[in-house]
């Protein structure tokens, strides 16, 4: 799997989307587009990403732009892993 697929899978698991995430791609909107994606989900998602990829996110790095789409979230994780 590639990073985009890994992150899509993590998003699906955290939000408990099951098969709904099958059609997700880098342009899939997250924040404001998926009812399950609330503030609690953001915290859970960040924790899952930190655990999976061994990185940490500072509060000032996390804003609406990061969670706009699957692609923007993937880009942020890529930058953390670089």
3-60 tens-digit pLDDT: 999 999 999 999 999 888 889 999 999 999 999 899 999 999 999 999 999 999 999 9
Fold exhibited by the domain 3-81: 1.10.1200
In three-state secondary structure terms, 69 is strand
pTM above 0.75, yes or no: yes
Q: What residues form DSSP beta bridges with 69?
A: 29
Q: At what angle do helices 39-53 and 3-14 cross, to 10 degrees?
A: 140
User: What integer is the mean pLDDT of 67-75?
Assistant: 97
């Amino acid at each position: 799997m590639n990073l985009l697929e890994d992150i899509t899978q993590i998003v699906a698991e955290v939000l408990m989307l099951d098969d709904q995430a099958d059609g997700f791609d880098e342009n899939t909107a997250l924040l404001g587009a998926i009812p399950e994606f609330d503030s609690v989900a953001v915290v859970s998602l960040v924790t899952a990403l930190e655990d999976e990829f061994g990185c940490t996110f500072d509060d000032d790095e996390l804003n609406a732009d990061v969670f706009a789409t699957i692609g923007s979230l993937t880009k942020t994780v890529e930058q953390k892993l670089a």
